Structure 1
Amino acid sequence: MQLESAIDHIVIAAQTLDQGQAWCEERLGASPLPGGQHPLMGTHNRLLQISSPECPQCYLEIIAIDPAAKPPRRPRWFGLDDAALQARLASTGPELVSYVARSNQINTHRWALLAAHLQPGEVVTASRQTPNGLLEWQIAIPDDGRPLAGGAVPMLIQWQGGHPADRLPESGVGLTAITVRGMADIVAQGLKLQPITRASRPGAALSAHFNTPKGTVTLHSHTGL
């Protein structure tokens, strides 16, 4: 089997899903659909189809702490427990925090990140119910829950069966490219992600570029600004 990885989804943190919904409609000109709950992490999400010729089988995830869920026994993913992030979400609204790379050999790609002296965390099994049935996946979650290299390096996921993007309708939004600052050569060589542009610092650790009904839109992470 060929060792492959691809951009799987873009992650937008929100204080609440309603806040994220309003932001998505205003900024990208499209309405995300209900996703589900993540009992393992105490979060829930809404999803938007953003597949494109450059980034096939890709979606945007708006994620927030689920106030109805039990607090997890570990830090939530994507840095959602960070007090500074939550303060920004309350004052300035949702923001780009991370992205996720789809792997067909997640443990091999995880070792590539470890070789770069990153801490991708252990691979865990997760799932959530959807109106179309159960989604299941394996994902490497950093022990502290924070995005790797400030968001320049993706989290790793390997799907078991179905994929969320295959169940989402067209939205008119397409991801065309990602720009990162802070991805080491050894990581780029190990993951071989496309279409990734590596840029020099200073600047945001992660930028995502979209075609939307409102024209070309670029989102930047807070880290590095």
Structure 2
Amino acid sequence: MIFKSWLFKNLRYAAPRSRIQCAIGWVLLVFATLVPASFAQTAPAQGARTILVMGDSLSAAYGLSAAQGWVALTADRVNKTQPGWRVVNASISGETTAGGASRIAGELKRNRPAVVVIELGANDGLRGLPLQQTRSNLERMIKLSQAAGAKVLLVGMRMPPNLGRDYTQGFERTFGELSKLHKTAFLPFLLEPIALDRGAFQADNLHPIATAQPKLRDHVWKALSPLLE
């Protein structure tokens, strides 16, 4: 699994840690809930259609300026290449699928998006939350978005192996199964382009650095751009 290989490659470059310490390091991401969200968006044009991004710290440009994150870079590309579209980033560092599910109705009403990008679940996995709970929350977000007339791009995530094979594999399958069931656009793993490159991450070995963000933008763009046609 790419994510597993990436995790252990990171550890070889860091100070020696035990497997338990590895798990603790991952749990630190949960405490990023104290960091406020970066609401990056393009200026709305008259009658512009909206791309709404519902994500966690990976989409909220954690540790960077908002303008450096992949969502803001996507907004710049949209502004230049997709007239009539804008991007609203409603991502919050530390957000769980429960948080996203509780906010989605309000965001849909407020922004009336034509496309919803859902990048949530990592914090569920880090906390070891029940897979069915994560699945139900993501499914609620998908259903409400589609009921509001929006196309959905579901962005998947993978977990390190410390919670066991069954949980790790079940977590990964959740995204693909939901996408297939509800016929959404799908990106299996947000961090795939940089997962094996320790130098692409900040000192916490969790969050991508600024120079890695264009790779994430380009990776997401492959799945997002067809929804804008």
* Structure 2 length-normalised TM: 0.28
Q: Which is richer in helix? A: 2
Q: Which is richer in strand? A: 1
* Structure 1 length-normalised TM: 0.29
Structure having the higher Rg: 2
